Structure 1
Amino acid sequence: MSSSALLPLVAGSAAVAGLARRIRLSAPLLLVAVGLVASYVPGVPEYTLDPELVLPLVLPPLLYTAALDSSYRGLRANVRPVALLSVGYVLFSTLAVGLIAYAVIPGLPIAAAFVLGAVVAPPDAVAATAIARKVGLPRRIVTILQGESLVNDATAITAYRVAVAAAVGEGFSWGTAFGEFLLAALGGTAVGLVLMVPLQWARTRLRDRLLLNTFSLLVPFAAYAAAEAFHASGVIAVVVVGLYLGHHAHTVDFALRLQEDSVWRMVAFILESAVFALIGLQLPVVLRALGHYSTGELLLWAVLVLGAVIVMRFVWCWPATYLPVLLSARVREREGMPDWTRPFVIAWAGMRGVVSLAVAFSIPETVKDSAGGTPFPDRDLILYLTFVVVIGTLLLQGLTLPRLVRALPLPAPDPQREVLLEAQAQNDASIAAAERLDVLLAEPRNRLPAPLETRLRRVLDRRQNAVWERLGSAVDEESGESADAVYRRLGKETIAAEREVFVRLRDDDRIDDELLRRLIRNLDFEEALVDRGEE
């Protein structure tokens, strides 16, 4: 893809995704639709991606962002269901969907069928967890979905590579396949474990924030490349490093945490938007290459493969949830018998997304042979079916999941309990901070004028009292806002008034731009304090 074509793709996809967020539509579906329309506009280039660059450029930042935002303790507490979904289910789905595709599509090689199965095997649970948080799913289900999304990509990509090797004639054996999985899993974990400590050491020693942000951008690509150099799983290496650095994020500079979060959100937003836009842009090209199939055949195969993907997740989730409980008395005592709603929601939250697309785009276009290279068997058909599965699951499952969650008798989260836990934690921290302040102020070198000492103590009191006030805050009947919401709104309006004065002083040549930027930056931090928790 040329640089002249890359800029319109990134800018256009970001604009469409931003519009979708504003009008509350599904961004992936709108991106596909707009990309499809744009592909017929004269002058729009025909976008093609280098298959060898897709995975190392797209997957590391997306997985790293998800890992930084995940809970290591939560994953460890739910290691069995996460492993059953991220490893067991992905392998089961690869085999089941591959065999079904091989049975219903005449002439499709078995190896190519397994390539398709591996490509559509990993659910994009990141999208599911975003919906889960909005509709208030139980925390354990959210953690399981998050953990699945981190590890299932490694399993699927390893299965994909084994299937591709068989499809290009490099041979296949169960022993070789098992060795590939073992090397990928253990090697990727080992590389991640080796890298995570020195990377964390560097993050805590660097002081230049610009350098730190640059370093942060390089971390997932470095971990991925290091693991791939040993023929191990770069995905697992990135996840291990991301989980460790996220678990120790409190040890780095506060400004880095704020900047890093914004930077990685932007990177993930751009990559996901561009990949979904590419579906629409490439769909006409893929369909033209399938001209030797009838429309009825393509529709039938699409429905059967999509149905297999959805049904096989239910086939796996129910026994994976209940068999461990039925077979182990210790698990029964610790967890009890799960309610039927948990496996049902987890099964329905199996939307496919950007990972499946990235893996599909990475399928080699040709197979090297004695003739110099022949087309990869049924590559365009695999791309087409992948597009259908991604779009179909986003339509069927993504759009209905919120309503389903609200309709099911799931245990509702207790917001008062959450606020109470936050208030108790803040109270303990404030008491420790006040005791530390007393010790520091007792030292002669730390003595402050009375107004400054009073200001420090007021800040501590404000943080301690703010959360407790939220427990008793009621919604005003006239404004429809809670006291907490009114506080945030008034705080932001007063800060906006200060900001307008600073700008006016700059425009009147009473202060220069450098001083304006410093004053505005201070107000930005104040607004961040006022605005905390609103999102």
Structure 2
Amino acid sequence: MNGVQLLLVIVGAIAVSGLAQRRGLQPALVITLVGFAVSFIPGLTRIELDTEIVLGIVLPPLLYSAALNFSFVSFARNFRPIVGLGVGLVVATALLVGVFAAWVVPALTLGTAFILGAIVAPPDAVTAVAIGRKLGLPKRVMSILTGESLVNDAAALTLFSITLAGVVGTHTLFANPVLLFLYSAIVGVAVGLLLAVVATVIRRLLKDSGLETVLGLVVPFAAYLLAEQIEASGVLAVVAAGFAIGSSSSRAGYQTRLQERQVWSSLDVLLEAFVFAYMGLQLRFVMEDLTAAGDSVWEIFGVGLLVLLVVLLIRPVWVFVSFGRHFLLDRVMRRRIASDTRVQERIRVENEQRIARGRRPRQFPVFLNWRESLVVSWTGMRGVVTLAAAAGIPLALADGTPFPGRAEIQAIAFIVAVGTLLVQGLTLPALIRSLHLSDPRQEEFDREQAEHALEVAQAASAGVYQRFLASPPEGVPPELLERMTQMVKRQSADAARDPDPDATSAYGEAFGTLYREVLQAQRNAVVDERDANRLDDDAAREFLEQLDYQEAAIVSRLGYRL
């Protein structure tokens, strides 16, 4: 693919994505179908990217961006369902699809069939989360879907890399695939965490939002390449680095956070649109490869529909088996506690101790009900990771022979991705509406959490005001001190209010310094409250964004004096 072709694909994909969003359509599906139609233009040559470009350049920033924006607190709170869906279901899907595909597709060996299984295993939560947010899905369901998307991408791509290495014949540290998987996962996470620590230290030393943002753009590629160099999972390294840096982002400068929100949002749109367009443009030539290999296009299409059916069935079975198991365990636990006064007393004492330490009392685990489980079971739309992995299959093995079954794998992966978008993506909104899942108390809960965040922030401000009044800056008349503190209190509670004093006033510098100290104290207090699990993650995120915009306003008004 030359530079002109690449530019045309990117511009076209962005234009189609914008038109699809304006029409209320799914951009991923529309871009793929338009790319497929464009590929039949007479004289259009095949557009082919190197495997390393697809896997090493496209995927790392997408995974890193998702990890940055997901709270580790939410991940820990929903650890069991996230890991169950993101790891257990992915492995089960890869194995079952691999065995089935090896049975029904003569061109696939067991190894290449497992590659197909790993490719179609991870669902893409982008569409499901967007639909769920619009229709008011419970936040717990949204957190599980978002967390699953991160974990399942990493698990599936790690399986993909291991099975691909085994088929291609490249050297690996361990011949045993289980040991290789464990090494790849553990070392990959360690590399990501180590790089996150280094990047965080460097960012604190830079103190320049532009350079910090550029460093953030480099981190996912560095994590991926470094892990891959030592034969660990580059994908897990990227996700671990994103988690670690995202959890410490509140300590970065407000300018860096504001810039990164816009940069990563734009980059996500660009890369996702490109991947769907690229795969759509490949399909005509994949069909030609099938014909050249002596395969019937219609036969492969039929096989692809069978694999799609297997993929659609595995997730509901897994979800409802887990739901039934959790329901039974919950009933048994409640009956045991209700019949044992000693256990009740132990729980009561433990909760009193937790409350005394400022923590929430221990409660029963809250599992998904059957309606929430039904929605989760129907959110298995495949997307950018499936298509990118399919496009990343090399043309040849290590000995130079053509990769066996490459065209069949890519064609089936496309059928599964488009099929899930059509079947599940188009019916999911109607399913959510019919189940009436929106919580009538959610709005009240959100309001209470927003008020709690404000209370925590105002309490944190008190110490700053006391220090300011006890040791006022030189040159500020005593009669203005109380007025300044009252002004800061009012404006800290209203993000839309402009900083009051004129930059030319005598006390503008002192006002700005006090204001920023208050904002930083509020920010630290809200983060601590969130990390202690006493404040909802969404409420904390919204409040922290308000503080960033408030700080940007005060610096814009009084910047040269600060």
**Could you say which TM-score interval applies, normalised by the shorter chain?**
0.7 to 0.9
* Alignment partner, residue 457 of structure 2: 429
Pairing 1:89–2:109 present: no
Aligned length: 473
The verdict on how the C-alpha distance between 1:350 and 1:447 changes in structure 2, with shifts beyond 3 A counting, is farther
* Alignment partner, residue 52 of structure 2: 52
Is there any run of 5+ residues in structure 1 with no aligned partner, and where? Answer: 467-487, 493-521, 530-535
Is there any run of 5+ residues in structure 2 with no aligned partner, and where? Answer: 338-363, 499-548, 557-562
Q: Which amino acid aligns with 1:164?
A: L
Q: Is the 8 A contact 1:112 1:377 kept in 2?
A: yes
2: CA distance between counterparts of 1:331 and 1:181?
38
- The partner residue of 2:315 within 307, 310, 313 is 313
The verdict on how the C-alpha distance between 1:223 and 1:169 changes in structure 2, with shifts beyond 3 A counting, is closer
Q: Is the 8 A contact 1:324 1:331 kept in 2?
A: no
Q: Which amino acid aligns with 2:374?
A: F
Q: Which amino acid aligns with 2:456?
A: D
Q: Is the 8 A contact 2:254 2:551 kept in 1?
A: no
Q: Which amino acid aligns with 2:493?
A: Q
Q: How does 1:140-179 map to 2 (within 5 A)?
A: 140-168=140-168, 176-179=176-179
* Alignment partner, residue 464 of structure 1: 493
2: CA distance between counterparts of 1:281 and 1:359?
15
* Alignment partner, residue 393 of structure 2: 363
Note the C-alpha offset of 1:399: 2.1
2: CA distance between counterparts of 1:453 and 1:3?
62
2: CA distance between counterparts of 1:452 and 1:33?
65
Q: Which amino acid aligns with 1:284?
A: R
Note the C-alpha offset of 1:24: 1.9
2: CA distance between counterparts of 1:430 and 1:276?
47
2: CA distance between counterparts of 1:179 and 1:75?
26
2: CA distance between counterparts of 1:331 and 1:246?
37
* Alignment partner, residue 246 of structure 1: 246
Q: Which amino acid aligns with 1:460?
A: K
Note the C-alpha offset of 1:20: 1.7
Note the C-alpha offset of 1:409: 4.0
2: CA distance between counterparts of 1:71 and 1:429?
20
Quick check: 304-313 or 16-25, which moved more? Answer: 16-25
Pairing 1:345–2:375 present: yes
Q: Is the 8 A contact 1:154 1:236 kept in 2?
A: yes
Q: Is the 8 A contact 1:426 1:463 kept in 2?
A: no
Deviations 1:420-441 (A, max 9, x none): 2112221331243255235314
* Alignment partner, residue 298 of structure 2: 296
2: CA distance between counterparts of 1:460 and 1:42?
67
The verdict on how the C-alpha distance between 1:160 and 1:196 changes in structure 2, with shifts beyond 3 A counting, is same
1: CA distance between counterparts of 2:280 and 2:134?
28
Q: How does 1:369-408 map to 2 (within 5 A)?
A: 369=399, 373-408=400-435
Note the C-alpha offset of 1:244: 1.4
2: CA distance between counterparts of 1:255 and 1:171?
45
Q: Which amino acid aligns with 1:439?
A: R
The verdict on how the C-alpha distance between 1:528 and 1:91 changes in structure 2, with shifts beyond 3 A counting, is farther
Deviations 1:275-334 (A, max 9, x none): 001122111111111223334313311210111111111122222333255357559982
Note the C-alpha offset of 1:194: 1.9
Q: Which amino acid aligns with 1:349?
A: T
Note the C-alpha offset of 1:212: 1.1
Deviations 1:427-483 (A, max 9, x none): 3312432552353144342564678974663453244368xxxxxxxxxxxxxxxxx
Q: Is the 8 A contact 2:199 2:215 kept in 1?
A: no
The verdict on how the C-alpha distance between 1:523 and 1:150 changes in structure 2, with shifts beyond 3 A counting, is closer
Q: How does 1:4-403 map to 2 (within 5 A)?
A: 4-42=4-42, 44-168=44-168, 176-291=176-291, 292-327=294-329, 334-335=364-365, 338-369=368-399, 373-403=400-430
Q: Secondary structure at the match of 2:134?
A: helix
2: CA distance between counterparts of 1:411 and 1:136?
5
Note the C-alpha offset of 1:416: 2.3
2: CA distance between counterparts of 1:241 and 1:355?
19
Q: Is the 8 A contact 2:64 2:238 kept in 1?
A: yes
Q: Which amino acid aligns with 1:418?
A: D
TM-score, with structure 2 as normaliser: 0.78
The verdict on how the C-alpha distance between 1:153 and 1:323 changes in structure 2, with shifts beyond 3 A counting, is same
1: CA distance between counterparts of 2:306 and 2:414?
14
Q: Which amino acid aligns with 2:180?
A: E
Q: Which amino acid aligns with 2:37?
A: V
Q: Which amino acid aligns with 1:285?
A: F
2: CA distance between counterparts of 1:395 and 1:209?
42
1: CA distance between counterparts of 2:150 and 2:366?
26
* Alignment partner, residue 508 of structure 2: none
Q: Which amino acid aligns with 1:461?
A: R
1: CA distance between counterparts of 2:367 and 2:150?
26
Tell me how large the CA RMSD over aligned residues is: 2.9
TM-score, with structure 1 as normaliser: 0.81
1: CA distance between counterparts of 2:456 and 2:158?
47
1: CA distance between counterparts of 2:490 and 2:91?
54
Q: Is the 8 A contact 1:123 1:149 kept in 2?
A: yes
1: CA distance between counterparts of 2:218 and 2:93?
33
The verdict on how the C-alpha distance between 1:528 and 1:359 changes in structure 2, with shifts beyond 3 A counting, is farther
1: CA distance between counterparts of 2:279 and 2:487?
55
Note the C-alpha offset of 1:99: 1.4
Quick check: 60-69 or 37-46, which moved more? Answer: 37-46
Q: Is the 8 A contact 2:136 2:438 kept in 1?
A: no
Q: Secondary structure at the match of 1:12?
A: helix
Note the C-alpha offset of 1:415: 1.1
1: CA distance between counterparts of 2:555 and 2:72?
27
Q: Secondary structure at the match of 1:293?
A: coil
Note the C-alpha offset of 1:335: 2.4
Pairing 1:439–2:441 present: no
Note the C-alpha offset of 1:158: 2.3
Q: Secondary structure at the match of 2:176?
A: helix
Q: Is the 8 A contact 2:387 2:414 kept in 1?
A: yes
Q: Is the 8 A contact 2:120 2:416 kept in 1?
A: yes
Note the C-alpha offset of 1:186: 0.8
Quick check: 321-330 or 146-155, which moved more? Answer: 321-330
Quick check: 390-399 or 405-414, which moved more? Answer: 405-414
Q: Which amino acid aligns with 1:415?
A: E
The verdict on how the C-alpha distance between 1:338 and 1:331 changes in structure 2, with shifts beyond 3 A counting, is farther
1: CA distance between counterparts of 2:424 and 2:151?
21
The verdict on how the C-alpha distance between 1:440 and 1:22 changes in structure 2, with shifts beyond 3 A counting, is same
1: CA distance between counterparts of 2:305 and 2:444?
45
Q: Secondary structure at the match of 1:275?
A: helix
1: CA distance between counterparts of 2:309 and 2:78?
29
